[in-house]
Amino acid sequence: MAFQKPPGTQDFLPGASEQWQYVERTARDVARKYRFREIRTPVFEATELFQRGVGETTDIVEKEMYTFVDKGDRSMTLRPEGTAGVVRAYVENKLYGEPELSKLYYIGPMFRYERAQAGRYRQFHQFGVEAIGSEDPALDAEVVALGYSFYKEVGLTGVTVDINSVGTPEVRAAYRETLLGFLRPIKDTLCKDCQSRMERNPLRVLDCKVDQDKFEGAPSILDSLDEACSTHFARVRQYLDDMGVPYRVNPRLVRGLDYYTHTAFEYKAQGIGAIDTIGGGGRYNGLVSQIGGEDRPGVGLGIGLERTVMLLESQNAKPDFGPAVDVFVIALGERAERETPGLLYRLREAGLSADKDYQGRKTKTLFKAADRIGARFAAVIGDDELARGEVGLKNLKTQEQRQVPIAAIAEAVRQWNEHDEEGLAQ
């Protein structure tokens, strides 16, 4: 056993990669419907971008970043999330100068140095969207709906949407004090995690799993919202209602990144060990200026693709990928063997998926092999066929075999297929 993959990473082998292609295709298609267009940014960026963008005091920046110094003595970091890089590209390429607001999406790997766990990896993949350039609450709702559409399209059931407003930084600071006023008197009764959480991020204490009963009368952030925040949040909810997207207002929802303002939301589902959050996002009105651009409001989401794939598997919602090969050529004898590469090339040029055996296995095994790899047809070619310029084309499903001129194989396969489908339809 020589080399092993780094901890917390995965190899997606043939058989699994098709599932990923399906999920990614679905993501692209949903993005297209909402008119989000793809942006591709580097997987590494200046470390400072994430420090400023994600927030110095977040767990991500404090202890989860893959940071290295490059040969030019610059500190670089493998992206732990997608938004900072997209916003950087938005600013650097002056997209704010364009007449349209930017509706962007990305699919790609993210990196966080954490202990792996069910549904959590050091290299994981996200589908994310960012709408930058408007504070219309309709966009908040649109982004929430886009994620919901994605889960629906991909075939998942049981996905729920939690939504909250975390207001502006000022609102949050005021609420923080109100909340601490409530928590301090009961601090000694709280679990030790919560006691340390009180220092770092008191809003998160209310999320505690062990002490829920103690927070009955806790103040809600929704009561601390100012007029503008309340109105914005009400609009978002109204739009979601109009769309028929089901959601639950959860005043205790807090996200792990500093940049969120107003709307914050999460998609949840059961079925991946202890983890229930499968995607999330929110509005980030201060982020663009934080990263050095002209101030522009934005809203976005990130969806965990590993978690999506795992849920699909746990729900047995495996899509059918169809036959892998149209024609498997079985050559009998040396002369036929030598004709096969040329034949394969012509079949492929004709648009068919075609393959042969390269391991010198015996005929009997080759029919089994053709079946196993999901071939629809076997093209048997031996001395007799060679002499007549034909192959024996065998439909592996029906066992029916016809002699077909070599030049007409592709055509025969197509026509035979149509017959099959008609037959099935009747």
Which residues between 13 and 42 bind RNA (CB under 7 A)?
none
255 marked ligand binding residue = yes
Closest contact distance (angstroms) between CB of 102 and RNA is 21
Instruction: Report d(CA 397, CA 394) in Å as an integer.
Output: 9
Closest contact distance (angstroms) between CB of 99 and RNA is 31
Instruction: Return the range that interacts with RNA (CB under 7 A); candidates 100-108, 218-226, 278-286, 318-326.
Output: 278-286
Binding of residue 273 to RNA (CB under 7 A): yes
Of 13, 274, 424, 425, the one binding RNA by CB under 7 A: 274
10 Å CB burial of residue 114 (0-12, 13-18, 19+) is middle
Binding of residue 394 to RNA (CB under 7 A): yes
Instruction: Return the range that interacts with RNA (CB under 7 A); candidates 133-141, 169-177, 229-237, 300-308.
Output: 300-308
Cβ-contact 248, 161 below 8 angstroms: yes
Of 399, 423, 425, 426, the one binding RNA by CB under 7 A: 399
126 CA to centre of own chain? 4
Q: Based on CB atoms, which residue is closest to RNA, 353 or 401?
A: 401
Which residues between 147 and 166 bind RNA (CB under 7 A)?
none
Closest contact distance (angstroms) between CB of 81 and RNA is 6
259 marked ligand binding residue = yes
Q: Based on CB atoms, which residue is closest to RNA, 155 or 382?
A: 382
Instruction: Report d(CA 21, CA 30) in Å as an integer.
Output: 14
Instruction: Report d(CA 266, CA 278) in Å as an integer.
Output: 8
Nearest to 262 by CA among 393, 141, 364, 410: 141
Instruction: Return the range that interacts with RNA (CB under 7 A); candidates 16-24, 138-146, 173-181, 197-205.
Output: 197-205
10 Å CB burial of residue 253 (0-12, 13-18, 19+) is buried
Binding of residue 172 to RNA (CB under 7 A): no
Dig out the tokens for 243 from the structure.
């769309």
SS (H, E, C) 208-273: CCCCHHHHCCCCCHHHCCCHHHHHHHHHHHHHHHHHCCCCEECCCCCCCCCCCEEEEEEEEEEEEC
Other beta carbons within 10 Å of 303:
24
Instruction: Report d(CA 204, CA 37) in Å as an integer.
Output: 34
Strand 375-381 and strand 390-395: pairing?
Answer: antiparallel
Which residues between 347 and 366 bind RNA (CB under 7 A)?
360-365
Q: Based on CB atoms, which residue is closest to RNA, 280 or 286?
A: 280
Of 30, 53, 81, 293, the one binding RNA by CB under 7 A: 81
83 marked ligand binding residue = yes
Q: Based on CB atoms, which residue is closest to RNA, 133 or 302?
A: 302
Q: Which residues are annotated as a binding site?
A: 81-83, 112, 126, 130, 255, 259-260
